[in-house]
Structure 1
Amino acid sequence: MQLSELQRVLDAQLEPWRFKDYAPNGLQVEGRAEVRTIVTGVTASQALIDAAIAQQADAILVHHGYFWKNEDPRLVGIKKRRLQSLLAHDISLLAYHLPLDAHPELGNNAQLARELGWQVEGQSGDQGLLWYGSVPVPQRADEFVRATGEKLGREALLLGRPDKPVRRVAWCTGGAQGYFAEAVALGVDAFVTGEVSEQQHHMALEYDVAFVAAGHHATERYGIRALGAWLSNNHDVSVVFIDVANPV
């Protein structure tokens, strides 16, 4: 598969032009023209790059890439070392941020719902990034958060009343704690995201809506894994998903 074709099929699937994002989506670092092996992962860390080099990969496909809005543009420090590793081994880097969060089938929100068995009812929020639906069996909030953590392989944090009955849930993977008030307005019993800020403790108690911080990395493993599986099933490339551990 040619690199140009890889970018074309990914763009066609994820439609990055529909999103106002914080970093460029698509090809971020150009490597060799022919792509036979792709390594996928959540974040283009040095650990993932080193693993891709060990796999003799031609390209890396991630959710969190480089060149974020307002970051230092200089190629120094870890940015220099990461880019040097990619260029020295002629490995391309492709990244899709919000388009991968929002995709109706392969996206992080869709895949998280599938992993946890939630019934999707709709999307809301800025660019359709806030999803909502129902759980298959109503649970107390403490039971709900325990089951969520067990499924994701990471202890999840519950803010709010432990005995709060959870029937309807809203979610947005990653660092979406800012959507909490909007989730509350949807009439849900719980909101699940990856990260948490200080004020969510008070909001959860005063709204009487459970807030669940289940891990930024843990909630965003599944979209990039699903995208890689779709690529390998539909195109002549080998795809290896590498889950670099991250407790955040």
Structure 2
Amino acid sequence: MIERDELERYLNSLLNISKFKDYAPNGLQVEGRKFIHKIVAGVTACQALLDAAVEQGADAILVHHGYFWRGDNPVVRGMHQRRLATLLKHELSLFAYHLPLDAHPELGNNAQLAKRLGLTSEAALNEQGVGNVGVLAEPISLEAFGLQVEQALQRKPLLVAGGDHLVRRIAWCTGGAQTYIQEASGFGVDAYLSGEISEHTTHSARENQLHYIAAGHHATERYGIQALGEHLALQFGVECKFVEIDNPA
């Protein structure tokens, strides 16, 4: 068991949230009961995850994608009302960590993705430390690397060839970070991997002569929140269960 505010202080410090200029608040977004025995973790605080937390008797929910994003309509009605009503009715605390969870060097989404794909990080992709630049154990073709990604994430990636070269140096950033492809190109990498793809991403890859791998926003961001939950379970002796809510995006 851990006291709610103690958990927030620990997480805020562990993930160094003051370092980041983010698109949503990091930390305790919705206040629930004071003491926490059980946490349900997931990628996004969707209604399905909230319902699973209620069903499993959780005291708190821990996610990567929470609420109150910049530019959101502040009116509480429809989907937003139902989500908040569920949390408040059942006194569930909602903890959400976005960029800080992407960037953590051990528990973060990018670190955990690298671990699964056998990537060694040499540098950060940007000044906030979100994303990495590194190398594969040995040069391989784009198609062979795509197969490794598919096997590791259980999802077939979309591959855009930027030439016929092998993949050795690579940059990666989980989630919706396709716009970082120009930064990746500046490092002289052979390939860039992220979660999503936009129309212009294909042209950027081809014209900068680097391969692009779109491995799925959800698929690339499942692992940081799991690692964080496992860390909390060991640190505080609380039960923390990851609930997978499938998302093809």
Superposition TM-score tier, normalisation by shorter sequence:
over 0.9
Residue 14 of structure 1 aligns to which amino acid in structure 2? Answer: L
Distance, in Å, in 2 between the alignment partners of 1:148 and 1:93 is 31
Residue 100 of structure 2 aligns to which amino acid in structure 1? Answer: P
The residue number in structure 2 matching 1:26 is 27
Where does 1:14-163 land on structure 2 (aligned, <5 Å)?
Answer: 14-161=15-162, 163=164
Residue 64 of structure 1 aligns to which amino acid in structure 2? Answer: H
Distance, in Å, in 2 between the alignment partners of 1:126 and 1:12 is 19
Distance, in Å, in 2 between the alignment partners of 1:241 and 1:164 is 39
Residue 128 of structure 1 aligns to a residue in which SS?
coil
TM-fit CA distance, 1:147: 1.3
Map Cα deviations across residues 184-230 of structure 1 (whole Å, 9 max, x no partner).
Answer: 11011010000011011112112110000000000000100000000
Q: Say yes or no: does 1:218 pair with 2:219.
A: yes
Identity %: 53
8 Å CA contact 1:25, 1:96 repeated in 2? yes
Map Cα deviations across residues 41-97 of structure 1 (whole Å, 9 max, x no partner).
Answer: 000000000110111000000000000001100111111000101111110000000
Where has structure 1 moved over 2 Å in runs of 4 or more?
A: 161-164
TM-fit CA distance, 1:149: 1.6
TM-fit CA distance, 1:36: 0.1
Residue 172 of structure 1 aligns to which amino acid in structure 2? Answer: C
Number of positions where the alignment pairs a residue of Structure 1 with one of Structure 2: 248
Q: TM-score, normalised by structure 1?
A: 0.98
Gaps of 5+ in 2: none
Residue 176 of structure 2 aligns to a residue in which SS?
coil
8 Å CA contact 1:102, 1:129 repeated in 2? yes
Distance, in Å, in 2 between the alignment partners of 1:55 and 1:89 is 12
Residue 152 of structure 2 aligns to which amino acid in structure 1? Answer: K
Q: TM-score, normalised by structure 2?
A: 0.97
The residue number in structure 2 matching 1:193 is 194
Distance, in Å, in 2 between the alignment partners of 1:205 and 1:18 is 34
Map Cα deviations across residues 104-150 of structure 1 (whole Å, 9 max, x no partner).
Answer: 11001111101111111111314121301001121111111121122
Residue 36 of structure 2 aligns to a residue in which SS?
coil
Residue 155 of structure 1 aligns to which amino acid in structure 2? Answer: K
The residue number in structure 1 matching 2:167 is 166
The residue number in structure 2 matching 1:13 is 14
TM-fit CA distance, 1:161: 4.4
Residue 74 of structure 1 aligns to a residue in which SS?
coil
TM-fit CA distance, 1:163: 3.8
8 Å CA contact 1:142, 1:163 repeated in 2? no
Residue 71 of structure 1 aligns to a residue in which SS?
coil
Distance, in Å, in 1 between the alignment partners of 2:182 and 2:25 is 28
Distance, in Å, in 1 between the alignment partners of 2:184 and 2:94 is 34
TM-fit CA distance, 1:175: 0.4
Distance, in Å, in 1 between the alignment partners of 2:117 and 2:55 is 33
Distance, in Å, in 2 between the alignment partners of 1:78 and 1:126 is 35
Residue 70 of structure 2 aligns to a residue in which SS?
coil
Deviates more, 1:140-149 or 1:238-247: 140-149
Residue 205 of structure 1 aligns to a residue in which SS?
helix
The residue number in structure 1 matching 2:247 is 246
Map Cα deviations across residues 1-48 of structure 1 (whole Å, 9 max, x no partner).
Answer: 110111011111001111000000000000100100000000000000
